[in-house]
Amino acid sequence: MMRIISILLCILCTSDSLFAGGQKIWGVPEEQFLHSVTGQYHPIFTARDAEKYPLRDLDGMSPGAGYFLSFFTYADEKLPYRLLEYEAERGQYLFALLSARRLMELLIRDDLDKEAEMIGTRLSRLFPGDYLLAKKLVESRYWQELDISPDLHQLQKRFDSKALEDPEYGLFAAVNAVRHHHPEWKAFVERLVMEYPASSVHHRFKSYISLHGLPDIVDSHVLTSLNIRLYVQERKFDAAFPLITGLPPRLMTLSMLDDLYMCASSGLYVSGGIEYLDSVIAAGTVVPSVKFRARMYRGLLFRKKGLLVQALEDFTVCTAEAKDPDIRQRMAWYVLESLVRTHHRTALSEFAPFRDFVHDPEYFSDVLSDWGHSLFMEGEYAALEELLLGVQDFAAPPVLSYLSYIVFRLDQTGIYRTRVDAELLRFHITSGEGDGYYRALFGYMNGIQADTVSPAPASGGREGISEGHAAAVSGFFDFGFSSLAYESLLPFKDELATDSVLAFSRLLHEAGRPWEGIRAALWRIDQAPDNLLYPLGYTDIVEKTALEHGLPSWLLYALIRTESFFNPAAVSHAGAVGLTQLMPATAKDVSGRLKLPGIDLTDPSGNIALGGWYLDHLIQRSEAPIYALMGYNAGFSRVRQWRDSWKDIPADLQVELIPYEETRNYVKKITRSALAYGRTYTTADAGDVFDYMFNTRRTEMNK
């Protein structure tokens, strides 16, 4: 691990330019070389013996040159190995580690197991803290059918739980024990089958024993358990569930209980799952950890069935028995949620004994927000006020700003006179750690300036980011592998320097992958400038469409960002497609009205044209754009039904009354984005945005 950290720290320190001036790579000027290799017409691609191309020429290029060049296909099939080995041993940045891992993968894939063992032994010394590389070294010996018992022991000794919890480690141990007829081979097989979660390793083990058999007969429950794993991995719950519940409770393991819960919670076997878990909990031969998990899963199944009193009893016991602070907090969450649903008015006082188990206030934000929303929907304003006062010591700032804003506005509009001190409400709403949406609304309603996002940055170029930080991550883009960049660096997001993350985000934007650029910026959301979090995209099309329909461009940008992160190929779980996430039926209707048949919804021009028209159409049918946004997400007919029950409630509080959590959050997300786009790229301030959204003036909303 120290080796990895030292490599990554180089990113903080490097100040070299992207390429050294005048550098030649294999006799070709560097710019021309990059052009030729990305076009795959450099002579090296057809050279049968690439030994004449000295790898030291790569030293002047951006980090990872050998790693990226290894992805191309060469006539000299050994060249990728040489490139990766050279890059791994150069020891620059994280690409050394990535190269070492990829080299081992290629060698094992190509059945060069002895070479992999020899090279892996050397590379493991360079990266002694990397588990994946150490496991690849063991795997190279595994495929040679050597006895790897000592290697597995060392792997476990060095990496402890990381090895023991790895299903592939369990596979290697079981096959090795069977292959070499170890005295304890049955124990290894049983551990693989009974203790590891269902995964592809069980299919691999099944294939092995189908070809090679087992040294002797094993207990029937082992083969039954193997079949359970195969069925669960294939999601054949109807076949797996009767096999699981046919096993004696004393044979239950933690991962077998996981499979039972997965089958039961699918909806088919909830009652049967509860009944079997009863027997596990009652069995005297079951170990405490299994009994604890059985009780937890029984509580979850009670909850799924709506038996909340019984669920609360199980969660209460689990909270008291849990040793791990994270699990104890998770159980406390279920206790609170069950109390809210069963003991609405006394939930806070009954939850008091569990408050000491809260170590991450954010963990409880959803249940507290849902509780506040439920009280507001039911008109229980005194209870809402009591909730705010009762959770100040453990609720996260965004929840406190949400509850405080509603109480403040109820008082301001005369709907309910609060006893909460006005300064306390103001403190929670305007807190820098609170929700910027409510901070901006508070400022708007009271005619004061309230910042909602970070200071507007300079846009375009690489200003403010050193070339060294750009160089650390630019290889993906220099060599034409921008599509691999995000997934490749995702595992290292917490270890990369902030400047390198921001450089990476900017390069993704420049490469035409804004959906990944935004996600990369979110890795450092507190430091990322607005033009990385809220980029412009398809500017000509958006501006043209906005002008045609009289829409603010900041609203159309906000819609696209919220819907798709500017990914033209985005498809939602419901089937909505493209930048503005139109359902095919809606798109067909709109394209028919516009006489634009056959539009490809993944085409940015056509999608934005249809989405812009549809948004404008909804706005024309609404009293205010805020209702059009509700309709865009939930359907316009639903909004009409909701509004019939919202009379005499100001528009900003009507947003909080939306019954659907998804739609409620959707409207607020678009508003947050609109505020950012308006301030960053136009002269529209928060007042302009809210005036437009609510189609009214602040003074009217305060009546």
Please give the positions annotated as active site.
563
Q: Cβ of 466: how many Cβ atoms within 10 Å?
A: 17
Sign of the CA dihedral with 71 first, then 73, 74, and 75 last: positive
Alpha-carbon distance of 150 to 384, in angstroms, equals: 62
Phi, psi of 495, rounded to the nearest 5 degrees:
-100, -20
Alpha carbon distances (Å) from 600 to 186, 448, 591, 597, 610: 58, 46, 11, 9, 11
Distances (CA, A) of 646 to 372, 441, 638, 703: 17, 19, 13, 15
Question: Within a 10 A sphere around the Cβ of 519, how many other Cβ atoms?
Answer: 16
Query: Strand, helix or coil at 543?
Result: helix
Which residues 6+ apart lie within 8 Å of 688 measured at CB? 678
Distance CA(513)–CA(518), nearest Å, equals 9
d(CA 44, CA 74): 7
CA distance 218 to 216: 6
* Alpha helices (H) in 446-523, listed in sequence order: 467-473, 475-478, 482-489, 498-510, 514-522
Q: How deeply is 574 buried, as exposed, middle or buried, from its count of CB atoms within 10 A (0-12, 13-18, 19+)?
A: exposed
Q: How many CB atoms lie within 10 A of CB 384?
A: 22
Any long-range contacts for 484-489 (C-beta under 8 Å, 24+ apart)?
485/511, 485/513, 485/516, 486/513, 486/516, 486/519, 486/520, 488/98, 489/94, 489/520
DSSP helix/strand/coil, 129: coil
Q: How far apart are CA 295 and CA 650, in angstroms?
A: 46
Residue 48 tokens read as: 């049968």
28 membership: H or E segment, kind and range: strand 28-29
What is the rounded radius of gyration, in angstroms, for the C-alpha atoms of the chain?
30
Q: SS3 letters for 496-516?
A: CCHHHHHHHHHHHHHCCCHHH
Helix 220-233 vs helix 254-263: crossing angle, to nearest 10: 50
At 25, give phi and psi (nearest 5°): -110, 110
Question: What sign for the dihedral angle of Cα 239, 241, 247, 250?
Answer: positive
CA 584 to chain centre: 27
CB atoms within 10 A of CB 675: 27
- Do 131 and 162 touch, CB atoms closer than 8 A? yes
Write the Ramachandran bin of 565: left for phi over 0, alpha for psi from -120 to 50, otherwise beta: left
Tell me how crowded residue 278 is: count the other CB atoms within 10 A of its CB.
13
Contact 257, 290 (CB under 8 A): yes
